[in-house]
Amino acid sequence: MCGRTACTLAPDEVSRASSYRNRGGRRRQPRWRDGDADKYRPSYNKSPQSMSPVLLSQRHFDKEAPADECVLATMRWGLVPSWFKEKDPNMMQYSTSNCRSENILQKKSYKDPFNKGQRCVILADGFYEWRKEGKDKQPFFIYFPQTEAKTKRQGDPTSSARDDENQETALAAKADDVSSEWTGWKLLTMAGVFDCWTPPDGGEPLYSYSVITVNAAPNIESIHHRMPAILDGDEEVRRWLDFGEVKSRDALKLLESKNILAFHPVSSLVNNSRNNSPKCLQPVDLNSKKEPKPTASSKMMAGWLKSSTPSKRKEPDTCESEEKKAGSQSKSKGGIQEWFQGSKKKPRTT
């Protein structure tokens, strides 16, 4: 299952971090759907019914758009079927935060939108999962392994005027390509299905999604027997979203367990969805309950954040499910920057 995630990047950073390749292999940077960037709130501890960023085909909103052109949208976690009759989506009697891949063609809530091509990619820094230890449960944070960027960072003082000139020439030749590669945190890309519900009495349509789950991969099955269906790489993301070229039956083949994720134990603070701070993500030593020493990976990420020019970030809400504005978060740091500057990460892959 997947019952809690984190997504700490600012809206513009989410856009840069979720660049994709179209059918022609050209990398594009998705734009936010009108008004949706303002609906998204970065958070260290997202729970069902909160609003999260997803990537999907632009054709769902514009019938004239190419099916392989993508857009970012903010959707509610927990699919509300288009046929739901109540006035309040919170009145649903069953949970739709997760959808088992084995049942996606059996249950009407998922089958109808899936067969219509309503597939999306849920974006997150990672997700939390709990391992049972007797009467207690130990939370873990699970994410893509992070590697050092090979490209030169923007604003690097060692860049020469000649480098800048060459870059401008290259950008002019590919004006519609992404101008610079994202060198920050690699977002986790989880397969999802979405639907659009309109209140019976009229009003703004609500877009919502379910995270599709599969059997856990060998390296994390000791934590939990289920995991989100991970889309690994540009081609899998493209095929999942391109419903014009990839039909539903073929898309199902992408829903497999993948033994590619890293993880580390975290504090029980994350158990309460009201707790929303970098401490939710910081690793703990299960023997001493103290933070482990810095690793090369955490130092690399901290160095990137210090050398990069941080963009203006929205402050995460202390209780996002109630959409309350946080007043106690640091204003000099934000999202993943504060996490890595204060974190002592020790990722594990086995």
Q: Specify burial of residue 295 (Cβ count, 10 A radius: 0-12, 13-18, 19+).
A: middle
**Residue that is written with structure tokens 């999202």 in the block:** 335
> What is the spatial distance between Cα 34 and Cα 53, in angstroms, rounded to a whole number?
13
pLDDT of residue 259: 95
Convert the pLDDT of each residue in 205-253 to its tens digit. Answer: 999 999 999 999 999 999 999 999 999 999 999 999 999 899 999 999 9
Task: Tell me the pLDDT band of 144, cut-offs 50, 70 and 90.
Answer: very high
Axis-axis angle for helices 296-307, 335-342 (nearest 10): 130
Query: Which pair of structure tokens corresponds to residue 111?
Result: 């089958």
> What is the spatial distance between Cα 164 and Cα 160, in angstroms, rounded to a whole number?
6
> What is the spatial distance between Cα 97 and Cα 118, in angstroms, rounded to a whole number?
16
Q: What is the pTM of this model?
A: 0.79
CATH architecture of structural domain 5-149+184-342: Alpha-Beta Complex (3.90)
Task: Tell me the pLDDT band of 66, cut-offs 50, 70 and 90.
Answer: confident
Q: 322 an active-site residue? A: no
Could you write out the DSSP letters of every residue in 136-178? EEEEEEEEPPP----SPPTT-TT--HHHHHHHHHHHHHTTTS-
pLDDT of residue 292: 52
pLDDT of residue 196: 96
**Residue that is written with structure tokens 């999604």 in the block:** 209
State yes or no: pLDDT of 177 exceeds 50. Answer: yes
How does the average pLDDT of the chain come out, rounded?
80
Q: 129 an active-site residue? A: yes
Helix (H, G, I), strand (E, B) or coil at 197: strand
CB atoms < 10 A from the CB of 148, how many? 11
The answer to whether residues 211 and 203 touch, using CB atoms and an 8 Å cutoff, is: no
CB atoms < 10 A from the CB of 214, how many? 18
Sorted by where each begins, the domain ranges of the chain are: 5-149+184-342
Helix (H) or strand (E) run with residue 237 in it: helix 234-241
> What is the spatial distance between Cα 198 and Cα 84, in angstroms, rounded to a whole number?
9
CB atoms < 10 A from the CB of 212, how many? 29
State yes or no: pLDDT of 306 exceeds 80. Answer: no
pLDDT, average across residues 313-342: 42
The answer to whether residues 211 and 97 touch, using CB atoms and an 8 Å cutoff, is: yes
Helix (H, G, I), strand (E, B) or coil at 32: strand
Helix (H, G, I), strand (E, B) or coil at 24: coil
Answer with the residue of higher pLDDT: 307 or 157.
307
Convert the pLDDT of each residue in 126-137 to its tens digit. Answer: 999 999 988 889
The answer to whether residues 68 and 30 touch, using CB atoms and an 8 Å cutoff, is: no
pLDDT, average across residues 15-29: 93
Task: Tell me the pLDDT band of 154, cut-offs 50, 70 and 90.
Answer: very low
Of the residues 7, 13, 120, 129, which is catalytic? 129
Task: Tell me the pLDDT band of 327, cut-offs 50, 70 and 90.
Answer: very low
Answer with the residue of higher pLDDT: 70 or 160.
70
